[in-house]
Chains A and B, each alone.
Chain A
């Protein structure tokens, strides 16, 4: 009952005219950004972040959430219609969505994608409502050592997402933590790594890091293919975008089965929409009676990843909002935005600013409806964005990025940093060094160091403080397991292969 009361209060906040307007605008902007290859949700939110500076905190967060799920939704539009995923999470939608469009079923594919997305989002938001308060209340027991260990876990899980890039992932996160140490140390007043620059005393703003590493570097990567990167002709006239009863019956099972999986993957730090969508696709293929139809326009192959993808995007907001620790690049950007707005995400957000916390949760229900409503009837209009030639688009993205960055500190020092970070991000992508750990580390770095030093103060300098509570031990163990897991699973699969070979064949 308590939760329902808070939720009702949240709906009152979310349904104010200004919040509704930003929800609609955010969903539409997000859909458009998500459709454009190379500009995923993280880049999209980062680029649009300055627009939210003048807003009230709840309005800013509602707008960003709308951009987030709008972008997740938009990514699949270009997957279905062009076979060009807007971002990694939309890759699986192309497997069967594009063949459906090729067979003249674009309308059904767009409708299934929207319905799966809507149901996945709705169910996972209900799960969010049930989970948020208990998690936030549990997190009130966290002191500085527990928070430090939690951040270690979140960073380790993100860095360890692939075995091949594990070491490079950890290097990336250490580099991000290094960036977070630039500027005045607020506990002692000592300037660190500022090289006498007044502008650097305030540190390197993580928004600059995010826009540089995601936005500018993505433009640089895309400039490599600009000559052969011509906008494909796109279908923009559609019949009735809806599905038949038979298609509905085929879709509902995969949607209901894969939503919880997507949600759980979203809650885990490091894993993201791409993993959720691909796992959902593979799960459905494995249990299907007709796996041979997958990849040739199977409805289940489109419904499952769409539902999982959106459930994942809702799940990813749980650690960010209840614990104050982002689990992905996109939620790191959103966490950064909350900090800029003067709010500290975490358990106290629910205690001290219930209107903001529950307003955002309520907006997820409404946002899913808004997104579906925008995307089904306006599909034809929105996909016209895909006709914009990249040669015109990327210069605009660069200028928008610079303009956005300037509005944070009103300092041209950020222009130099943005250019350098763009080049760093470009080289990291070329050398296959993951960038998400760097982003996460640059956002949580300052509070991580603060928790570390507060813990040491509590223990008179003894590192044993990190091993005294069971919460710390569990979190450190989870961090160790997440780093070791790729190796363990690799060893197990090798052993299984060995056993399979050893089996004598009669």
Chain B
């Protein structure tokens, strides 16, 4: 599929879902009951219109045989790294408040460095993880007086 066509389809889907949700929003109790809905509905409809326009333009180009696009490349290794990093981020969110800043950050940064820098460099990974985590904790808690769990 042409990349812009995909962008158009996704835009229409986002616009349609958003518009449907906007119509389901509760009405205002005071003043014009539709006032909080106008702006979102307008945005949703605009998104659908823009997405449709992009689809039409891309279909016209495809019919004319204009190949002025480059497909984005996704390699297996990069997808693995990005998926791994995202999973680490979600895990960090899950454990952050329960375990506290220092243990969860040690795990988070340690896992990121292991994934990205490799397990073989475990010594440097360990030093950076410890140094950065305790350094960040000291900076935020002791210097900036920002409470961390």
Contacts and interface: CB of A to CB of B under 8 A. Distances in A.
Interface of A: 50-51, 53-54, 167-168, 170-171, 174-175, 177-178, 181, 185, 187-193, 216, 219-220, 223-224, 226-227, 389, 391-392, 394-396, 398-400, 402-403, 406-407, 410, 412, 415-416, 418-419, 422-423, 426, 430-433, 449, 452-453, 456, 461
Contacts of A432: 3, 72
A188 B35 contact: yes
A178 B40 contact: yes
A415 B96 contact: yes
Nearest to B97: A412
Given A181-B43, A190-B27, A416-B93, 14 more contacts: A168-B4, A171-B47, A171-B54, A181-B39, A193-B40, A216-B89, A391-B118, A395-B117, A398-B112, A406-B96, A410-B147, A419-B90, A430-B72, A456-B38
B136 A403 contact: yes
Contact of B72 (A193, A406, A431): A431
Given A171-B7, A418-B89, A449-B39, A395 B113 contact: yes
7 contacts: A192-B25, A389-B117, A395-B113, A403-B140, A419-B89, A431-B4, A431-B6
Given A188-B31, A412-B93, A227 B77 contact: yes
B30 A415 contact: no
Contact of B108 (A399, A418, A452): A399
A432 B94 CA distance: 32
B117 to A, nearest CB: 4
Contact of A399 (B18, B31, B109, B117): B109
Contact of B40 (A181, A403, A406, A461): A181
A426 B115 CA distance: 19
B57 A54 contact: no
Contact of A171 (B25, B50, B77, B140): B50
Among all A-B residue pairs, the 3 with the closest Cβ atoms: A415-B93, A188-B28, A395-B112
A219 B146 contact: no
Contacts of B13: none
Given A167-B57, A177-B43, A452-B39, A223 B81 contact: yes
B35 A399 contact: no
Given A223-B116, A430-B74, A432-B3, A398 B85 contact: yes
Instruction: Specify which of B25, B36, B75, B113 lies most central, judged by the most chain A CB atoms within 10 Å of its CB.
Output: B36
Contacts of B96: 406, 412, 415
B47 A190 contact: no
A229 B93 CA distance: 29
Chain A interface helix/strand/loop/mixed: helix
B62 interface: no
Contact of B124 (A51, A177, A392): A392
A79 to B, nearest CB: 26
B63 interface: no
Contacts of B77: 227
A80 to B, nearest CB: 28
Contacts of B146: 50, 53-54, 407
Interface in B110-149: 112-113, 116-118, 124, 128, 132-133, 136, 140, 144-148
B19 to A, nearest CB: 10
Interface in B64-92: 72, 74-75, 77-78, 81-82, 85-86, 89-90, 92
B6 to A, nearest CB: 7
Contacts of A395: 109, 112-113, 116-117
A453 B113 CA distance: 49
A489 B130 CA distance: 56
A243 B35 CA distance: 63
A456 B35 CA distance: 10
B75 A188 contact: no
Interface in B2-29: 3-4, 6-7, 11, 14, 18, 21-22, 25-29
Nearest to A389: B117
Nearest to A167: B54
B50 A170 contact: yes
Contacts of A410: 147
B85 to A, nearest CB: 7
A453 B117 contact: no
Contacts of B74: 430
Contacts of A50: 146
Given A171-B54, A403-B136, A416-B93, A187 B112 contact: no
A188 B36 contact: yes
B132 A226 contact: no
A177 B14 CA distance: 13
